[in-house]
Structure 1
Amino acid sequence: MNTTTRIHTDHGTTKRLGDWTAEKHSEVKARYGSVVIDLRSPLIDGDDDIVVHADLDHAMVKLLVPDDAVIDQSELEWTGRGRVKDFTRQAGAAGRVIRLTGAVKSGEFRIHRGGIAILSALFSREFVEDARQANREGRTPTLIDPANAPR
């Protein structure tokens, strides 16, 4: 059974970092805002594609993905300006497929891989809270690498 995780933002910023879900389907609706989604979690298991369905209006979605992830943007419909920025795309990557679907009106997707994804997670308020909690519990912060999450 596939359930869908819904993320909505309007004139704001929403971040989902670390082990925030085990679902493979996300629905993002953003208007004049930004959304950061961490898809590096080992909780998202299996061989199926990860699907991010977007309804963006002058918005930006930043995806934190593993180094070997394959981004499929063929099902996105564009109105106005916009693009998928994936500067460190791996030629011949054979990892997990992340399919981007839906409609984008003057918006963009930014793909952060590897070290850039780690830095994006590090420079957030969520990381500071996670680091403080990890220090109290004597463990490693999980937002650097969600694979370090205590199970």
Structure 2
Amino acid sequence: MQMRVSDEDRERTAQQLQHAFSEGRLNQLELEDRLEIALTAKTYGDLLGLVTDLPAEHAPPVPEVVELDSKNGNIKRSGDWSVPRRMRVTSKYGSVELDLSEAVIAHSVVEIELALDYGSAKIILPEGASVNVDAFRSDWGRTATSEVPGRPRPGHLSVVVSGKTKYGGLTVRYPRKRWFTH
């Protein structure tokens, strides 16, 4: 994650490292090395690298809002990643693919705001999730295509997509079924 961290984020990670030391998960030298890095960290990626081998409760919190921005490249998130409560995704010429099917999602509602000029977006949701795409607009491309129910379902993730694209579109679906033969 390239988002810059605050002093509070650094301090929180330092406390998590000290807690891991008190539990016997880190020795004195490991604690000192990691604390030095934590207190000088610039991005969330720097902090995450310090706690990836510790139990999840020692990981730095996911920021409330994450902004992803690309002028020419594609934006893609997939696999095991932490989804924030709100995402703002801006892409001038590239496409966007957000695969939430294997992600860690701590919120019952996730808001995704898309600002696309010449690209399209694909959002893959975990089974059972719902999506509201009513606030997404396309000037010249196709409008939002969703294979996912639009009405929120109790106990399941609900995603709200807003924003617009000038020449692209939006597709929302569940993961494709994989058929294996033996």
Deviation, 1:44, is: 1.0
Percent same amino acid at aligned positions?
A: 19
Report which of the two has the higher share of strand: 1
Task: State how 1:1-151 maps to structure 2 within 5 Å.
Answer: 3-41=64-102, 43-47=104-108, 49-86=109-146, 88-90=147-149, 94=153, 95-115=156-176
Alpha-carbon distance between aligned partners in 2 of 1:91 and 1:105, rounded to the nearest angstrom: 23
Count residues with an aligned counterpart: 116
Assess, with a 3 A threshold, how the Cα gap between structure 1 residues 22 and 81 changes in structure 2: closer, same or farther: closer
Alpha-carbon distance between aligned partners in 2 of 1:10 and 1:25, rounded to the nearest angstrom: 21
Deviation, 1:67, is: 2.2
**Greater Rg, structure 1 or structure 2?**
2
The structure, 1 or 2, with the larger RCO (C-alpha pairs under 8 Å, 6+ apart) is: 1
Structure 2 unaligned residues grouped into runs of 5+: 1-61
TM-score (norm 2): 0.54
TM-score (norm 1): 0.64
Q: For residue 146 of structure 1, what is the aligned residue in structure 2?
A: none
On the 8 A contact 1:9/1:35 being kept in 2, the answer is no
Deviations 1:72-111 (A, max 9, x none): 011123322222222x334867232110112221211122
Q: Secondary structure at the match of 1:89?
A: coil
Assess, with a 3 A threshold, how the Cα gap between structure 1 residues 34 and 42 changes in structure 2: closer, same or farther: closer
On the 8 A contact 2:122/2:171 being kept in 1, the answer is yes
On the 8 A contact 2:135/2:163 being kept in 1, the answer is yes
Structure 1 unaligned residues grouped into runs of 5+: 120-151
Report which of the two has the higher share of helix: 2
Alpha-carbon distance between aligned partners in 2 of 1:38 and 1:77, rounded to the nearest angstrom: 21
Deviations 1:44-86 (A, max 9, x none): 1233x11110111111111111122211011123322222222
On the 8 A contact 1:71/1:99 being kept in 2, the answer is yes
Assess, with a 3 A threshold, how the Cα gap between structure 1 residues 78 and 60 changes in structure 2: closer, same or farther: closer
Q: For residue 125 of structure 1, what is the aligned residue in structure 2?
A: none
Q: Secondary structure at the match of 2:82?
A: coil
Q: For residue 124 of structure 1, what is the aligned residue in structure 2?
A: none
